[in-house]
Structure 1
Amino acid sequence: MSPSSGPPVIFDSQRRTARLERSEKRFAGADFLHARAAQNAVDSLDALVREWPEVADLSAHPGPFATALADSDAAARVGPVKTVGGRGERAGPGNAPLALPDQSQDLIVSLMSLHWANDLPGALTQIRRALKPDGLFVGTLLGAGTLKELRAVLTEAELEQRGGAQARVSPFADGFDGAALLQRAGFALPVSDVDRLTVRYPDLFALIRDLRAMGETNVLTGAGRPLTRGIVARAAQLYAEKFGEPDGRIPATFEIVHLAGWAPHESQQKPLPRGSAKMRLADALGVKEQTGEE
């Protein structure tokens, strides 16, 4: 790889921006994932007794966080929430320099946007640099289990009718990698948690309508040939056959990865140096230590 080469371009930023723009008028009818992510972020702030005067929201849809915050105990401790960047910048985090000075924010929030980043570690690093020392980042992104049913039936239907299949659902990050991603970007005290939920729909077409209203439809680069009506109809049939429930509805899995990390500061708790433990692990656990001689 040459020195000028950057990370691979997984997503088409122009198509992503256009789809996000088209979703604006319908978003309120399909904002349940964003509302859930926003409430979790606000719950995290409620549990921390401190103030955040300078606050930036990098979410593609910034409304849910402000709505959840307004009804919380934390509202009095959080300054005015600034929506940062244009729709294009929020649609594809990290594609352009973050429109925030270094060490300028006490709190940065990014909800349901980072799974569209071509360079996720780079986007997180930009966020960490924009935080003041001991500033907090709270974010969410869709995880690897998201839309696993849809991925399976689209692949099978396209294989049947074309003899080959292309990726039609985004590759999402593994939730178990969340804390490691934050640590790689330079955050201290990283925390990651996975929230899985199943949403039931009357059919595949209702699911697709919600995804369009969220602005979450496929924008993978090199998407190639579009799906035909026949392939989509076959996918709907397979979905009902393989995953349909007794009442005729179909489940769609969503996995929300919640992230939190702090910009480093000397006041933060540090891990103990290696070899400084005062008690053997076996004694702490109340078990007999096994050695290679036994």
Structure 2
Amino acid sequence: MSKVIACIDTFNHMAETVCDYAAWASQKMKAPLTLLHALEKPNTLPATNLSGSIGLGTREHLLEELAELDQQRSRLLREQGRLMLEEAQQRVLQQGISESETLQRHGTLQESLTTLEAEIGLLVMGREGCHEQPGQQHVGTHLESVIRTLHHPILVTVGDFVPPKRFMVAYDASQTSRSILERIAASPLLRGIPCTLLLIGANTEIEQSLLDEAAAQLAAQGFEVNCEIRAGEVAPCIQQAISDLSVDLLVMGAYGHSRIRQFLVGSTTTKLLQKSQIPLLILR
């Protein structure tokens, strides 16, 4: 059964937000929740030149001490991760998740997610990594690479948890966008939440027809839909529409075949994530 997997790399306010959105998604999808901590190999102590006047017995003793320090550090990191997962489990319990799984894996986050790929229904990650402070709008070290490599929906959390009351789809009428609508319609995650379809381009009969067709696709599944056409640069149009319409969640494809694709591919992906003040649901 597909799971909601929440990535926890430290336990602070950002991790609390990840837990809250993961608990919300788990309840909406009626899917099991797994709290994941990837225990990456720590940086070993710097290599030390023990040659020269130090005797052989002393060198061996120092090397043994260095190895023991590395082992102690690894044990401490494992214990720290275990405690973080316990705190995360208590957090989701407060949000109504009576049963959740905690999982600590050795290796990079990408390696851990690859081994779990068959189980992932939705991945929840914070925008900032463990070394950033809230409000700095930095993108975590692993986030962009995970978006590029993982073929599953990724919910990127930002700021405080706010149950979405309206979501917006950046729609460009490409095959990717049509596929996104199909996935939205088939999933219980956003069901019951009003939707805005935003198309960036000229307000012509053709563009309006494309939007009407897309809206009918969601409306047939019970979604309340309204359409917006705005002309201009992609990023400012998206941000302004979010503000004007009080949107709580932005849904986008990681890659497309239009101006939105040009906006997303490359370093501009990071720019979008940096600027967004609301969570993003990234679909491949």
Regarding TM over 0.5, the answer is no
TM-score of the pair, normalised by structure 1: 0.29
